[in-house]
Structure 1
Amino acid sequence: MKIYSILLVFAVLLALPAQAQKFDGGIATYQSKTSFDMNNFGGREMSEQMKKQIAERMKSRLEKTFTLSFSKDESIYEEEEKLEAPGAGGGMRFMGGGFSQGGIYKNIADDVYARQNELMGKTFLVKDTLAKLDWKLEKESKMIGQYAAFKATAVRKTEQNPWEALRRNRNAQADTTATEAPKEMVITAWYTPQIPVSQGPDEYWGLPGLILEVNAGPTVILCNKIVINPQSGLEIEMPGKGDEVSREEYEKIVAEKTKEMSERMGGGRGGFGRGRG
């Protein structure tokens, strides 16, 4: 095991001079997959055929492809556009509106985070400082493609989102003994010093090398392609449209809208997807 680690370090040292000669940025492609427990959404009451049908409809939302366009200081993480299956619709649909999120912009030099979101027909520009994680650099290493990657871990508070809010509301009404979801989760990331930028997918950043893989609860994000110094396609621009709000302000708005929808849907008993056009 020690010999393998030494070889990884040696590979990194050989590669660093070549990377350091010239760096104008890069584009990394990531595959994101999120597992989905049907039992948390009333799946115990569904037939296997119904579970299978819902799983197929959910697949496009749970398995996505993203690109990270990055330079030393800036990056933007965007979902690749693709044709929706008939009747699938875009984003998460509520009665009377939708919920969708734009690309994540990060500027490490200026400590700026920005994201343009659509919520029930209204556009918001969520702008704030970068979310910082207290990374712990571990001793483990492995190869991801042609890159030597090293492990890092951090603990993060779990986020509240519309899906989770409706699920909890439903469970609370159905079972007063239901336990709360854990309020913290361990994030595991794999980064490569061969690409010496502190960028990464989604909201992850802050390691001594590009983050190639993230394991965060039910979600796995894995890089499968990197183009350094691309001749075209490297466009990094901070979103600028919408009513500007902080993260905290936006979370309060989402919570309020979610509560409204939960009440309209009879406390979540009607399930998702009603009111689709």
Structure 2
Amino acid sequence: MKYTTIKTIIIFLLSLNVYSQNNSGIVKYEVSLNFTLEDIVTEEKKQKKELRTMRKIISESKNSEVVLKFESTKSFSSVSKRMKINEEKTGTDFVYSRAGRDKKFITNLITNSNEMQECKVLEKCYLIQQPSLEWQLTQETKLIGSYLCYKAINISSKNKKKKPIAWYTTTISASFGPKQYFGLPGLILELEEAAVIFKAKEITLNPKDKIVFDTLKGIKINKEAYNKKVKEAYSDFYKI
């Protein structure tokens, strides 16, 4: 099987020529767990305490919804819906957290960049420059609804066990996806991360109403510098 490795800047040059048909749209993704307890047990032996924790997470997880809005050279992604959970019982919402929580992501093809707004961890809002993506394109295909989609692997991911996998369609020539994912020769309709999976459930192309993007404010910083600030602020935690 042949593979092609690309960087997002190459796709940007390609995408500028194909936006005439699908130059704006809104996509709603349903986000759910991408593993079961059986997967964890099969992968490796776990201590009973760890298995109890994972069983609790799986049994109490609720799906979330992420909305992607895009126009010719820009997109905005955020969690729009979080299923109600019993906070006293769970204390956290695993899927909601992995879907992006209250973070907001904005992609700009002109600058070939994606910024994530984070306002909860430190006392100020930060616009964190996400690392550039490198994709490995394959010839593997599958149908998602009526769309023929191609498989791409994010080989720039630091996850050694499972690289993120995107399924994109060239039928919709928008080089965007949920969260920080972009740069493919078409719209991402399905995204598999290690913990959760994003599946497009509703697509609106060229809506009548003008798409409005949120204005993200914060201190601009790269991811490495931001992580350093977090470690300094929570030094006791990182010593554990």
Q: Provide TM-score, normalisation by structure 2.
A: 0.71
Counterpart-to-counterpart distance in 1, 2:24 and 2:55:
42
Q: Deviations over 1:66-103 (max 9, x none)?
A: 010011210011101346424266779xxxxxx95421
- Is it true that 1:229 corresponds to 2:228 in the alignment? no
The corresponding residue for 2:5 is none
Asked if 1:115 corresponds to 2:119, the answer is no
| Counterparts in 2 of 1:256 and 1:116: CA distance versus 1, 3 Å | same
**What corresponds to 1:135 in structure 2?**
135
Where does residue 174 of structure 2 map in the other structure? 197
> Match of 1:15?
none
Partner in structure 1 of residue 224 of structure 2? 248
**1:106 Cα deviation (Å)?**
0.5
Quote the Cα distance in structure 2 between the aligned partners of 1:51 and 1:154.
26
Q: SS in structure 1 opposite 2:164?
A: strand
Contact 2:128–2:226 (Cα < 8 Å) also in 1: no
User: For 1:233 and 1:90, how far apart are their aligned partners in 2?
Assistant: 36
Which amino acid letter does the alignment assign opposite residue 154 of structure 1? N
Matched, 1:31 2:30: yes
SS in structure 2 of the partner of residue 109 of structure 1: coil
Could you tell me whether the CA contact under 8 Å between 1:105 and 1:115 is conserved in 2? yes
- In the TM superposition, 1:12-51 aligns within 5 A as 22-34=21-33, 35=35, 44-45=48-49
Rounded to whole Å, the distance in 2 between the matches of 1:202 and 1:100 is: 11
TM-score normalized with structure 1 length? 0.63
Per-residue CA deviations over 1:226-248 (Å, capped at 9, x if unaligned) read 100122372223411x3332211
Contact preservation (8 Å) 1:125, 1:239: no
- Greater Rg, structure 1 or structure 2? 1
Judged with a 3 Å threshold, the aligned counterparts in structure 2 of structure 1 residues 22 and 156 are, in CA distance, closer, same or farther, namely: closer
Deviation at 1:108, TM superposition (A): 0.9
Alignment check: 8 A CA contact 1:30 1:224 kept: yes
Q: 1:43 to 1:66 in 2, by over 3 A?
A: farther
Cα gap change, 1:232 to 1:36, in 2 (>3 Å): farther
What SS does the aligned partner of 2:232 have? helix
Deviates more, 1:201-210 or 1:134-143: 134-143
Could you tell me whether the CA contact under 8 Å between 1:198 and 1:209 is conserved in 2?
Answer: yes
The separation in 1 between residues aligned to 2:134 and 2:50, in whole angstroms, is: 42
Q: What are the within-5 Å matches in structure 2 for residues 1-277 of structure 1?
A: 22-34=21-33, 35=35, 44-45=48-49, 52-57=55-60, 59-60=61-62, 63-82=63-82, 84-87=84-87, 101-120=102-121, 122-128=123-129, 131-158=131-158, 182=160, 185-232=162-209, 234-240=211-217, 242-261=218-237, 267=240
Q: Structure 1 pair 64/259, CA: closer, same or farther in 2 (3 Å)? A: farther
The Cα of 1:201 is off from its aligned counterpart by 1.5
- Mapped to 1, the partners of 2:58 and 2:146 lie a distance apart of 34
Change (3 A) 1:187 1:82: closer
- Distance (Å, rounded) in 1 between the aligned partners of 2:133 and 2:219: 27
The residue number in structure 2 matching 1:170 is none
User: Which residue does the alignment assign to 1:166?
Assistant: none
Do 1:126 and 1:250's aligned partners in 2 also have CA atoms closer than 8 Å?
no
User: Structure 2: which 5+ residue stretches go unaligned?
Assistant: 1-17, 95-99
Separation in structure 1 between the aligned mates of residue 167 and residue 137 of structure 2, nearest angstrom: 10
Alpha-carbon distance change, 262 to 144 in structure 1, aligned in 2, over 3 angstroms? same
